Structure 1
Amino acid sequence: MAYIMDTNEEERTKGITVEVGRAHFETENTRFTILDAPGHKNYVPNMISGASQADVGVLVISARKGEFETGYEKGGQTREHVQLAKTLGVSKLVVVVNKMDDPTVGWSKERYDEIESKMVPFLKTSGYNVKKDVQFLPISGLMGFNIKSRLDKKVCGWWSGSCLFEILDSIEIPLRDSEGPLRMPIIDKYKDMGTVAMGKIECGSIHEGDNLLVMPNNASVKVLGIQCDENRTTRAGPGENVRVKLSGTEEDDIFAGFVLSSFANPISCVYEFNAQLQILELLDNVIFTVGYKAVLHIHAIVEECEIVELIEESDLKKKKKELDPKKKKPKKKPLFVKNNAVVVCRIQVNNLICIEKFSDFPQLGRFTLRTEGKTIAIGKVVALPPPKSSSFA
């Protein structure tokens, strides 16, 4: 299955996923787009691009001895991917314990229970409501067991739960606003008898013939055609992964991270913004202070950024204990913050970027900061500068 999804020669030769693979399948009730994101730590930026478009995460874990432990231990990719998925808005998670048919596992209930018991506390600390938003199940990807149809009792006597497709079919996706202003972050573009932009509609709808804006370069475009899962359509709504053929702009003028938006209510374009950050783990001997530089990942944007002001540090433990708000002392601006701190800060980028406040459009207002191949912070946009100004009131 991996060989089918990994389409370029480098991936097939190395046996690892590099790019985000795309495929479609349908069950009786739902049409799905699979975004096969890489698991290797060198390709986490590509994983972020895939996860930022997803409604549901399917976290594949190996049951084979040693393989689960490698991914789960400190610095392992299972940990980083869970944290990133949560940050990127993937609120529903299906944890599939794969390779249950491996000779070292042999559909062992003890091994399955061990993996689940270790994952549950970590998922909770990552912000998942395990009872409500996470489901576990055993599978064999190689043999196709427990994917499309339920496990045969002869194969695994102790599992009586659903198969993967049943679980995916039953997950309730949060409703999006089809009547709101259009927001479609562009993840890729190509030329095909015109300019085609690819992306997922986060809010609003696109109709053939619509006049829209490509931001931040403020280009007026007209929608000539819409493709959804390879099929031509005249309209597409929120949650759909689409290809939109546009007139009025050249392929060379569109970049990943640009946003297709409505004329009446275009997306905000800024050089700086205020954010609430949670520091996860800084590199050794590094201080998080004014002047700190990192790479910002927000929807399809990848931009170098700099912390230009630390505004306020939140002490979550003290906040819970504090009963009388009148006794609050005015907070001093911190000079620096440490691991696990929550801080409001101002972030600056070199190029104009399209973002929104998290409270208005969560998918366009949550982000990660990475440096030297490691995710060091997760955050959300809390304030934008007023229009036509690069500073805050």
Structure 2
Amino acid sequence: MSRHRNVRKLNIQEELDDDYEDDYDFDDYEEEEDGEESQNFSQPPIKFDKSTTIKKSTPETSQPKSPSKNGQIKQNLIAPTIENLKINESLSKDRSSSKSPSRVLTPKQTLTNLEMAIAAVPKYRFLMLRKRTRPEESKSALNLIIVGHVDAGKSTLLGHLLYQLGNVDERSMHRYKQDSSRLGKSSFAFAWILDENEEERSRGVTMDIAKTAIESPSGKKFYIFDAPGHKDFIPNMISGATQADAALLVINSTRGEFETGFDQGGQTREHALLVRSLGVSRLIVAVNKLDTVDWSKERYDELCSILSVFLHKRAGFEFVQFVPVSGLFGINLTKKPPADCPLTIWYSGENCPTLIEALDSIPLTTTSTSDQPLRIIVTDIIRISPTLLTVTAKVEGGHVEIGDKLFLMPEAVAVTVKTLSIDESLHISQSSKTTSTTDQQICFGGDQIIITLNGTFEPDSVYPGNVFCRGGTELLHPCHCFIARLVIFDIKMPILRGANAELFVHSLRVPCIISKLKCIHPGSKELEKKNPRLLPRNVSAIVEIKTEQLISVESFNKNKQLGRLALRSNGETIAAGIIIDC
């Protein structure tokens, strides 16, 4: 049974927007003092390394200090405490960069760098006074995440869409068909356009985020993130969802298959809740494999009815549109169904769009972020040397230009922008995807970029979740403790104070501890409980969260992408919410 089946009319967005400062009281839970530790931990709290904690100032005895090489600060290595991901061990090397390393950076270690960043205000002041806006001829793109239960046909649908839009040439497509037929998997030919890993192809399951880009016939550009559907790879799905502006939910119309994905612990429900919790408000639902039920209108209406109630009333999506398709046969993707297709009997006319037309109807964000402080989130590492760093990243606020002096947070390492390019990823070659880039002098909020910087870098010192920013008043101050408003999912066991979890914020993924339970709304907006002993399922709560290492986050009212979070424990998503103070 789905872990979220018992969510009774709990609208995630409404809960996150509620005023959490009202003070009420009731006797359903026993109060306890903030300083008191719960004795009923389901898991022991994270043990902080005493050697890395901030100590009170004490008189120091004069002892000779051994010089450190090049002023290098040796990082303390803390073994991860979370072992809740069931990822195939053979993939650990391929995706080792997807998880932020458990390195402890204390304020004491980065104090000098932070002082330098704050002192840089006069040098960068002219940049803050110089307004930059995106040129009209510069196209902004819509970041789209494709989600859904395993075997819903996401990769096949996207691969066929790429083929019909001309992103895959005939020669390459012929090669994919030959290779898949040779292994007895001819129906996977279009999926192989994106699933290029040998293990993904042999298992027929997407394991990591596949990134590409398309341009619709109308000229609208999309950055596409094809997420894995298997529950073991939810962390990879979250990393893509944090970059998305909209989502495409793919469901399997086959009788029994949709029910498995939606009602019996499948990922249709969890994916929808997660993308909504992470800020996606617009959703297109591709009712896929409708050919397996002879293009039945009754089946289509049944699925739309079930999902519409859940997506609008429980998940809280503002906009949902359903489109019947067949990813395998390419029907209703970019062209109207052929006259001999049974779908045309009940699906035709102006109000019956193709999939690409439905995607085209999603408006680009109208909120300009060019006036916000610069925030560039690192999503992947391309190459790193002692003096040069190249990464893929997303600009989440402000603008960046070649020659800008920035700081890499949370370490506050000074860097200089050497080159900038827009990550197009439009061309897919015969055997592998080839990234095409467009050199830029300036990039704006929402851009997916490849950025090269000069600086001093240590091996393994840069990871997904690092953030570039300017100094002075624009500096993003690192923290290891913040207050968050959470919506608790349909969890099996209540959350106790001191419970361990894994924190997902933008591209960052680190262990954390839920250190304080401040107050709780049990569903009724008329009641509130201060200092509860535990958090049951399906409630909204204010909590304090701590991490062992300094992290780069920001309150939701300052930057939405740096202020949204999800919590997972023991292989399941237990909560999602926003940061309200840090």
- TM value normalised by structure 2: 0.61
Q: How many pairs does the alignment contain?
A: 369
Query: Which structure's relative contact order is higher, taking Cα pairs within 8 Å and 6+ residues apart?
Result: 2
Q: Which residue of 1 aligns with 2:11?
A: none
Asked whether 1:178 is paired with 2:367, we answer no
What is the SS of the residue equivalent to 1:297? strand
Asked whether 1:339 is paired with 2:555, we answer no
Q: Structure 2 unaligned segments of length 5 or more: list them.
A: 1-158, 160-190, 425-436
**Counterpart Cα distance in 1 of 2:193 and 2:384:** 25
What is the SS of the residue equivalent to 1:275? strand
Instruction: Give runs of aligned pairs for residues 253-268 of structure 1, distance below 5 A.
Output: 253-264=461-472, 265-268=474-477
What is the SS of the residue equivalent to 2:286? strand
Identity %: 38
Asked whether 1:91 is paired with 2:300, we answer no
Task: State the Cα distance separating 1:179 from its structure 2 match.
Answer: 2.2
Task: State the Cα distance separating 1:29 from its structure 2 match.
Answer: 2.6
Closer/same/farther in 2, CA of residues 90 and 318 from structure 1, 3 Å limit: closer
Q: Which residue of 2 aligns with 1:276?
A: 485
What is the one-letter code of the residue matched to 1:23? T
Which of 293, 300, 305 is 1:112 aligned to? 300
**Counterpart Cα distance in 1 of 2:530 and 2:278:** 31
Alignment check: 8 A CA contact 1:271 1:349 kept: yes
**Counterpart Cα distance in 1 of 2:501 and 2:535:** 15
Deviation larger for 357-366 or 36-45: 357-366
CA deviation vs aligned residue, 1:159-213 (integer Å, no higher than 9, x gap) = 1211111121221132241121111211111217842111211111121221111
Structure number with higher strand proportion? 1
What is the one-letter code of the residue matched to 1:361? N
Q: Which residue of 2 aligns with 1:372?
A: 570
Q: Structure 1 unaligned segments of length 5 or more: list them.
A: 323-329, 385-393
Asked whether 1:222 is paired with 2:416, we answer yes
What is the SS of the residue equivalent to 2:397? coil
What is the SS of the residue equivalent to 1:244? strand
**Counterpart Cα distance in 2 of 1:20 and 1:243:** 17
**Counterpart Cα distance in 2 of 1:294 and 1:369:** 6
Deviation larger for 330-339 or 6-15: 330-339
CA deviation vs aligned residue, 1:360-391 (integer Å, no higher than 9, x gap) = 2111111111111111111111111xxxxxxx
Q: Which residue of 1 aligns with 2:357?
A: 166
CA deviation vs aligned residue, 1:215-246 (integer Å, no higher than 9, x gap) = 00101111111121122222221111111111
Alignment check: 8 A CA contact 2:523 2:538 kept: no
Asked whether 1:14 is paired with 2:203, we answer yes
Instruction: Give runs of aligned pairs for residues 119-158 of structure 1, distance below 5 A.
Output: 119-129=307-317, 132-155=318-341, 156-157=343-344, 158=346
Asked whether 1:302 is paired with 2:517, we answer no
**Counterpart Cα distance in 2 of 1:12 and 1:249:** 40
Alignment check: 8 A CA contact 1:86 1:127 kept: yes
**Counterpart Cα distance in 1 of 2:420 and 2:536:** 47
What is the one-letter code of the residue matched to 1:172? P
Q: Which residue of 1 aligns with 2:447?
A: 240
Closer/same/farther in 2, CA of residues 249 and 137 from structure 1, 3 Å limit: farther
Q: Which residue of 2 aligns with 1:189?
A: 381
Instruction: Give runs of aligned pairs for residues 377-392 of structure 1, distance below 5 A.
Output: 377-384=575-582
- TM value normalised by structure 1: 0.90
What is the SS of the residue equivalent to 2:453? strand
Alignment check: 8 A CA contact 1:205 1:235 kept: yes
Q: Which residue of 1 aligns with 2:247?
A: 57
What is the SS of the residue equivalent to 1:268? coil
Instruction: Give runs of aligned pairs for residues 25-44 of structure 1, distance below 5 A.
Output: 25-27=214-216, 28-44=218-234
